[in-house]
């Protein structure tokens, strides 16, 4: 299986965006079903399970990023690193289960921990899904996989909550089943893509494992800190307001993060080129992706701001109305921080410097923690949203300064779209929509 050609980046961006919009709609619908069936407390408990997945995936996903780096910048073959990935899968799964056992022994086991422990191997595989497919240039397969997981989750939630009238555990079991199905398909596809022979001078297994661990450990630290950066407001809310407050806040977060689908589409389609191209070409690709995504995200944010009350109350119900103000306060930060994934691809896969994102995350976590702890007790949900927005704006500014210094581009070239960008976007959109998928 050969990687997709470089010329497909525009087509891949549009198609990834279409798939992401579809996945976003299904995710929102799943959230509505859970909220309507289980209320704020049940929504908070179910979202807590997804929070555990996001936290663990942020750490183990660092080794998926190591695979991306090996496949793009280092030009390795998948068959060379596949045995090392299998070893890491076993080790990381065992380590995660040990941590869960220790936590359960101290705080007591509950349904959330039990379901999560059962799904640990699938969570590890899914955390590598993006890194492996992007490293191979298999954007289309990644789109199908991510969309399929969300769609299957929705179907199983409908069966568990609407048809069978189950509770929180039934919803969690539905999510776990969908995760395993998606992981099995991912393993099958990766085995198929890696079926060719390796390089004649392939390094010994311990060397391959060591190389992935060295890069992956730094990316894992970045992932953990990035997770905390994204979710420290939620953790503070859980501490101060409990599952009910967290359940309401997740509505605001999910609505705001829907806008990230735009930048993630561009980051997904551009990662292979950003990692494998020259510094000048990679810098230009990164800047252009940020310019285009920012325009679209601003338009979407304006629409969300205007429709926030209607969206929350009509779809989720009056009990979730406090999420409206939080959503509106989150939007400025969402617009600024939508560039994070594109910047991260450049810093990790072009420069090979994941530690920059680690340092950035340390600073933003500190700032966000202070702001949320100060504001949440007195302001509630809006306090968490304000603290998050201020932090995201600071992170975007810092990333821009460093990127401009390394690339030689100016801030205007990074953020302000021009007429050529718009024309190019429309041309690529027309071509992507009129071209049949590559077979």
> pLDDT, tens digit, for every residue of 201-212?
667 788 888 888
> pLDDT, tens digit, for every residue of 172-195?
999 999 999 999 999 888 888 765
pLDDT more than 90, % of the chain:
21
Q: Which string of b and e fits 289-317 if b means at least 16 CB within 10 Å? A: bbbbbbbbbeebbeebeeebeebbeebbe
How much is the pLDDT for 76?
79
What is the C-alpha to C-alpha distance for residues 325 and 189, in angstroms, rounded to an integer? 43
Using 50, 70 and 90 to split pLDDT, how confident is the model at 250?
confident
Q: What is the DSSP string of 46-66?
A: HHHHHHHHHHHHHHHHHHHHH
| Distant-in-sequence, close-in-space partners of 152: CB < 8 Å, separation ≥ 6 | 178, 181, 182
User: Closest by alpha carbon to 339, among 393, 294, 387?
Assistant: 294
How much is the pLDDT for 202?
67
Answer whether 0.85 is exceeded by the pTM.
Answer: no
Using 50, 70 and 90 to split pLDDT, how confident is the model at 237?
confident
How much is the pLDDT for 438?
41
How much is the pLDDT for 1?
40
| 30 has a pLDDT exceeding 80 | yes
> pLDDT, tens digit, for every residue of 255-309?
777 777 767 777 777 777 787 788 888 888 888 888 888 888 898 899 999 999 9
């Amino acid at each position: 299986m050969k990687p997709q050609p470089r010329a497909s980046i525009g087509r891949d961006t549009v198609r990834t965006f279409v798939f992401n919009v579809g996945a976003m709609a299904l995710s929102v619908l799943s959230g509505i079903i859970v909220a309507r069936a289980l209320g704020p407390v049940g929504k908070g408990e179910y979202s807590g399970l997804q929070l555990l997945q996001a936290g663990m995936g942020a750490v183990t996903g660092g080794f998926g990023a190591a695979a991306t780096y090996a496949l793009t910048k280092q030009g390795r073959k998948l068959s060379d690193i596949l045995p090392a990935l299998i070893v890491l899968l076993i080790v990381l799964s065992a380590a995660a289960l040990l941590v869960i056992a220790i936590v359960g022994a101290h705080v007591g086991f509950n349904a959330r921990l039990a379901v999560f422990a059962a799904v640990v191997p699938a969570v590890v595989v899914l955390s590598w899904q993006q890194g492996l497919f992007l490293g191979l240039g298999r954007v289309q397969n990644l789109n199908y996989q991510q969309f399929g997981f969300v769609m299957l989750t929705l179907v199983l939630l409908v069966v568990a909550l609407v048809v069978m009238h189950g509770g929180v555990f039934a919803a969690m079991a539905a999510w776990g089943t969908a995760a395993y199905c998606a992981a099995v398909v991912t393993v099958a596809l990766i085995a198929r893509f890696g079926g060719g022979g390796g390089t004649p001078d392939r390094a010994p297994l311990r060397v391959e494992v060591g190389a992935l661990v060295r890069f992956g450990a730094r990316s894992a630290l970045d992932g953990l800190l990035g997770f905390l950066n994204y979710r420290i407001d939620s953790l503070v809310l859980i501490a101060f307001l409990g599952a009910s407050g967290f359940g309401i806040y997740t509505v605001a977060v999910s609505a705001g993060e829907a806008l990230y689908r735009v930048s993630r589409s561009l980051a997904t389609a551009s990662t292979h080129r950003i990692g494998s191209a020259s510094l000048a070409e990679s810098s230009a690709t990164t800047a252009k992706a940020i310019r285009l995504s920012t325009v679209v995200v601003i338009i979407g944010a304006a629409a969300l701001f205007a429709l926030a009350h209607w969206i929350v109350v009509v779809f989720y119900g009056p009990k979730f109305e406090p999420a409206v103000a939080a959503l509106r306060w989150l939007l400025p930060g969402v617009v600024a921080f939508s560039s994070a994934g594109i910047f991260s691809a450049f810093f990790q896969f072009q420069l090979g410097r994941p530690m920059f994102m680690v340092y950035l995350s340390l600073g933003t976590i500190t700032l966000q923690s202070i702001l949320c702890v100060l504001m949440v007790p007195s302001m509630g949900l809006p306090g968490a949203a304000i603290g998050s927005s201020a932090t995201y704006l600071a992170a975007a500014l810092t990333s821009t300064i460093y990127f401009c210094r390394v690339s030689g581009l100016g801030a205007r070239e990074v953020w302000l779209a021009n007429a050529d960008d718009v024309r190019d976007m429309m041309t690529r959109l027309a071509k992507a929509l009129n071209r049949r998928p590559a077979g």
